[in-house]
Amino acid sequence: MHTNSVSRRSRRFDIIAVGELLVDLISSDFADNLHEVKDFKRLQGGSPANLSMNMARLDNKVKLIATIGQDDMGEYLFQCVDQMAIDCSQLYRIELPTSLILVTRSKGVSNFEAYRAADYQITEAQLSPQMLRECTIFHTTCFGLSREPARSAILIAAEFAAKEGGQLAIDLNYAPKIWPDQDKAQDVVAKYCSFGALVKVSDVDWQRLYNREIRDRTEVIEHFLALGAKEVCFTLGAEGCFVSNGSQSLFLPSREIQVKDTTGAGDAFWSGYLTAWLDGVSLEERALAGRKMAELKLVCFGPLPAKVSRSELYTDVEGIV
């Protein structure tokens, strides 16, 4: 961490991530659709869980709140996250199957099919007021908010955490097949942003959620700032990312690398970005840290190594526009 930065690490948890922990069955080979796939590789998945794992790799204090089944896949997922020094005390196991997703390995946007049961059975009992007072960042996703009872439990907890001085964050990983009621999704996103959230949204997320082509990058940023978001990271895949807090905006182009697996790259970006936010560094350095973590993930099939040095996030200085 830079000496002129101000750390935001005074609370018990640097981040509490709430939402989906599930099994990804990813095609062994690159494929455009699931019909073409012959073999799948089992991996731990779910955006909040991926984020938690990456935040733990960067030596953050992490708590994951999710629900899995009392089955073999649930045991597999528990072991994946438990070995990463993540607080799993509110990881509930219930008598429903663990959720799983079939995913195509892709160099662009992956195709997927979700089979959901346990993941959205998150309740208020998992989100105590005392725990929420002890977190610096409270994070969730559109996937996590897509069904009840998780939606109401997360929104109530988010509003409370914000009132207690916590910083909300959200990954708008919206997909119509996960959340068919688009109007409801837009309303929930607007409410969450109104609490002053840090927002990560991709070009694909934007088009899926609002059915609007991107005419101007600033349109996307201004939309979420107008809803009450504090800061917006608009990721553009192979192009790079556009970041703004209203008073300052910048574009960071991507760099050419040998892509092996895009699954989880957005979660890796956000883990780098939020870690840098916790370290109190500048907007530019947060964007660079996000890009660095995304690059580390893109060149790796499956999860990242057990540890990533936080100092590695701040080695890049090139590319800001």
Q: Read off the pLDDT of residues 149-165 as tens digits, 9 standing for 90 and up.
A: 999 999 999 999 999 99
CA distances from 298 to 49, 74, 118 (A): 18, 26, 29
Range with lowest mean pLDDT among 222-231, 239-248, 263-272, 297-306: 297-306
Q: Indicate the pTM of the whole model.
A: 0.93
What's the confidence (pLDDT) of residue 3?
43
pLDDT (mean) for 121-126:
98
Q: Which amino acid is at 255?
A: R
Residues 6 or more apart in contact with residue 72 via CB below 8 angstroms: none
Q: In terms of DSSP bridges, do strands 91-94 and 22-30 run parallel, antiparallel, or are they unpaired?
A: unpaired
Per-residue DSSP letter, 87? B
Asked whether the predicted pLDDT for residue 214 surpasses 60, the reply is yes
Q: Which amino acid is at 302?
A: G
Residue 151 has phi, psi (to 5 degrees) of -55, -55
Answer yes or no: CATH 3.40.1190.20 is held by domain 13-314: yes
Place of tokens 């990560």: 200
pLDDT (mean) for 105-109:
69
- Which tokens in the block code for residue 44? 């731990």
Virtual torsion, Cα 12, 276, 160, 141, nearest 10 deg: -120
- Which tokens in the block code for residue 33? 């659709």
Per-residue DSSP letter, 200? E
**Mind listing the pLDDT tens digit for each residue in 50-94?**
999 999 999 999 999 999 999 999 999 999 999 999 999 999 999
Asked whether the predicted pLDDT for residue 111 surpasses 90, the reply is no
Going 89 to 67 to 269 to 165, the CA torsion angle's sign is: negative
**For the packed helices 47-57 and 72-82, what is the interaxial angle rounded to 10 degrees?**
30
Q: Which amino acid is at 227?
A: L
Asked whether the predicted pLDDT for residue 300 surpasses 90, the reply is no
What's the confidence (pLDDT) of residue 157?
98
Nearest to 310 by CA among 272, 274, 265: 272
Nearest to 273 by CA among 246, 298, 252: 252
CB 293 within 8 A of CB 312: no
CB 56 within 8 A of CB 306: no
- Which tokens in the block code for residue 126? 């998992």
**Mind listing the pLDDT tens digit for each residue in 196-208?**
999 999 999 999 9
Average pLDDT of the residues of the chain: 92
What's the confidence (pLDDT) of residue 319?
55
> What is the band of 270 on the pLDDT scale with cuts at 50, 70, 90?
very high
